[in-house]
Amino acid sequence: MDMGRESRWEKDAMTVEIVFALVTAAALAGVILVVAWTLVQVLDLSGSAERGVSAGGALLGAVAGVRRLVRVLLRFDEQRRMGH
């Protein structure tokens, strides 16, 4: 096999890591959104307070999910470059 080409095992490992990153990012974002929704329900918020907490939870969830996705993929790339 050519030195510049990736083996089938390496391609499979990348696919697994990408799926892992996407699933864990979505799960983290979902958990944060559920926590925000729970706060709205428990504190019986309405109107602008409800919209603010919901929007804040959605924004925080999206940011945390993207951060998780990038972090997992960068860690995988670093390990791959080191030969692990």
Question: Hey, where are the domains in the chain?
Answer: 8-82
d(C-alpha 65, C-alpha 72), whole Å = 11
Model-level pTM? Answer: 0.79
- Say which DSSP state 7 is in: P
CA 66 centroid distance within chain:
5
d(C-alpha 75, C-alpha 47), whole Å = 42
Helices 8-42 & 47-82, crossing angle to 10 degrees? 160
pLDDT in tens, the chain (84 residues): 445 567 888 888 889 999 999 999 999 999 999 999 999 999 999 999 999 999 999 999 999 999 999 999 999 989 888 876
Tell me what pLDDT residue 7 has: 84
DSSP states of 51-72? HHHHHHHHHHHHHHHHHHHHHH
